[in-house]
Amino acid sequence: MKTDIILAGVGGQGILSIASILGDAALRENLYLKQAETHGMSQRGGAVVSHLRISDFAIAADLIPKGSADLILSVEPMEALRYLPFLAKTGCVVSNVTPVLNVPNYPNIDEVLREIKKQLRFVAIDADKIAAEIGNKRASNVVMLGAAAPFVHIDAEKIEAGIERIFGSKGREVVDLNKKAFQAGMLFALKEI
């Protein structure tokens, strides 16, 4: 089993939190893990991408070659579009539909979503809306993680244990909110696939 994941978004959207949660879950499954943040991690509002490789055998390289990603998990739609060349023909795109208008020439959102929906497998989700309905719009990244969970091949309970570990120091209320966000995203994706 091998799952190569491109995590994409913009600075401040919680890409590192998603990577940490999945990394924790992979280790709980006794899987091998390689991760590389390759662009923009320190710049709020700038493009962010992380390569995450999870496998039941040793992984030599930490970067995912173009055309071989099993999953693009994007918390911002234009960033999903940017990394489509990395997607394998049988891969899946899970993208938030809410844009971050951080550049003056942001492309037409309908055109961006049309390109994403041309993929063989995709889930387009309004994670911001779902997170707001749960009670905290900042949990949209964990909604996205939930929407991607059916494609990650790690037990959902292990991912929730990762949520517990990553957010545990922030208190029970934050942990419970994020678990609820994860479950809402997963439920949405399971209805879509």
Sign of CA dihedral 37, 39, 43, 47: negative
Of 154, 155, 156, the residue nearest 183 (C-alpha)? 156
Sheet hosting strand 2-10, strand order edge to edge: 32-39, 47-55, 2-10, 69-74, 87-96, 121-125
CA 66/CA 15 separation, integer angstroms: 20
pTM (two decimals) = 0.94
Q: What is the full per-residue pLDDT of the chain (193 aa) written as tens digits?
A: 999 999 999 877 888 899 999 999 999 999 999 999 766 545 556 788 999 999 999 999 999 999 999 999 999 999 999 999 999 999 999 999 999 988 889 999 999 999 999 999 999 999 999 999 999 999 999 999 999 999 999 999 999 999 999 999 999 999 999 999 999 999 999 999 8
3-state DSSP assignment of residue 130: helix
